[in-house]
Structure 1
Amino acid sequence: MAGSSGELTISSYIQHHLTNASVGEGFWTFHIDTLAWSIVLGFVFILSFRAVAKKATVGVPSKWQACVELVVEFVNDTVKGTYHGKSPLIAPLALTIFVWVLLMNLMDLIPVDFLPSFAQFVGGQLGHDPAHVYMKVVPTTDLNMTLALSLGVFILMIYYSIKIKGAGGFLKELYAHPFNTPWLYWFNFILEVVALLAKPLSLALRLFGNLYAGELIFILIAGTMGLWQLPLHFIWAAFHLLVIPLQAFIFMMLTIVYLSLASEKH
């Protein structure tokens, strides 16, 4: 966008940055930039942690090994203090969610014109109109991505509820709680279903809303300041350094809490 931002209004500049590169139509529209960056960052997480595991030593660790061990220990202690069931899946799941979401959030610190401008240059070389080449580099500013993550958590909630309590026990929690009175079963069912569906929905919207707002401010700074954006960019980025890990931690923490609740018998 750097080369064409002078020809655009602020509103069209913002709209361009908030538009995903997509293929398909209607429900089967795929945001290829969100998919590509999330997959790449997933491999960054897997390969970097695997490299540390293969080269781990019992002596003085390298700086990267110490960093990885610190993250793993932090997540493991969080799971032990929060999850009250027994499952070998929860700790690896929590680690994956925390690091993967953190990496996706960190893309927010890259100057907003840098990668989209490069994509426009490449698109122009391939014969495409640069004005119609889009790229959003922060996967968690795409509601589809955060909903997909929360949907995975929701499926695990249902799985653990049925596995530990049985299908009958899970259904009984829906209609017999909080008022175990037959004539209020219908009321209980409505309350519990709404509460159940609200968990993954709020999980997705919280992450999306915070990252989307942060990215929008970066875009506003770039659109109004042009080449003078860097000082304000770094000031906002310094503040955003608190938001990025915090949102990854909240998503991980709520996932553990929801799965812990699903694993408890009432």
Structure 2
Amino acid sequence: MIYTPLEQFSIISLIPIRLGNIYLSFTNSSLFLLLTTGLVFLLFHMVTQNGGYLVPSRWQSLVEMIYEFVVSLVDEQIGPKGRKYFPLIFTLFVFLIFTNLIGMVPYSFTATSHLVVTFGLSVSLFIGITIVGFQTHGLHFFSFLLPKGAPLSLAPLLVVLELVSYCFRAVSLGVRLFANMMAGHTLVKILSGFAWTMLSVGPLLATASIIPFGIVFALTGLEIGVACLQAYVFTILTCIYLNDAINLH
């Protein structure tokens, strides 16, 4: 049997569920999404059940660091008007960073390496942000499509370009996260498979396999950084888009 680096992204049905022509099976992706949610809920429950401690533990310090980081992010990117959207931004960042990091555990599954998950999340946020824009400004929200000071003769062209650019946010936000997570995991799998093949061929190549094994360890550390960075990028872009909808920048 030939194993490919893309095998790690296979969706496996754990509990088959069919309702007519609708396929609603519980898969490995669903399992790890629920596992991530459960672990995050358990962590936050443990550090907040007694109102926290005067001298915080390591886990409480971690939660407080994440909280303060997201608060500063919302204040810098949106301002005081964004405080009421803080629970959404905080939940989004925590969910993404824990999902990405759990995917780095050997024999686990990275849910954010599937386009259906990241694209579904980005489209949902795009629709919600658009609704916020209309609730805040009404039909005046359409003025976002025509940059201030632009000549009216170019209005038809600029409106079309701005509309395409605005709608493309829903695509780029999800594709960026999916592509980075999938590409990084694939590269690590290819190099680790190459190193294992060298190790099993003969003593000479086994010695040389130290090089690809070293690269794999370095890439694993890089992937952990990318997992955190992509959660940050996804969250900060959401804040920027929300700021545009609220303040029409």
Please give the TM-score of this superposition, normalised by the length of structure 2.
Answer: 0.81
Q: How does 1:97-246 map to 2 (within 5 A)?
A: 97-111=92-106, 114-115=107-108, 137-166=109-138, 168-174=139-145, 176-177=146-147, 184-226=154-196, 232-246=215-229
Conserved 8 A contact 2:103-2:111 = no
Change (3 A) 1:89 1:45: farther
Change (3 A) 1:13 1:265: closer
Query: CA-to-partner distance for each residue in 1:150-199, whole Å, 9 max, x for gaps?
Result: 11210121111101111x1123433x445666554432331121111121
Corresponding pairs, count: 232
Q: Which runs of 5+ in 1 are unaligned?
A: 1-6, 116-136
Q: Which runs of 5+ in 2 are unaligned?
A: 200-211
CA distance in 2, matches of 1:14, 1:233: 14
Conserved 8 A contact 1:221-1:233 = yes
Q: Does 1:17 align with 2:8?
A: yes
**Deviation of residue 218 (structure 1)?**
2.0
Please give the TM-score of this superposition, normalised by the length of structure 1.
Answer: 0.76
Query: CA-to-partner distance for each residue in 1:74-96, whole Å, 9 max, x for gaps?
Result: 11111111113524442111211
Conserved 8 A contact 1:85-1:263 = no
The residue aligned with 2:230 is: 247
* SS of the residue 1:196 aligns to: helix
Change (3 A) 1:18 1:65: closer
CA distance in 2, matches of 1:193, 1:54: 47
Root-mean-square deviation (CA, aligned residues, Å) is 2.8
Conserved 8 A contact 2:144-2:248 = no
Q: Give the number of the structure with larger relative contact order, counting CA–CA contacts within 8 Å between residues 6 or more apart.
A: 1
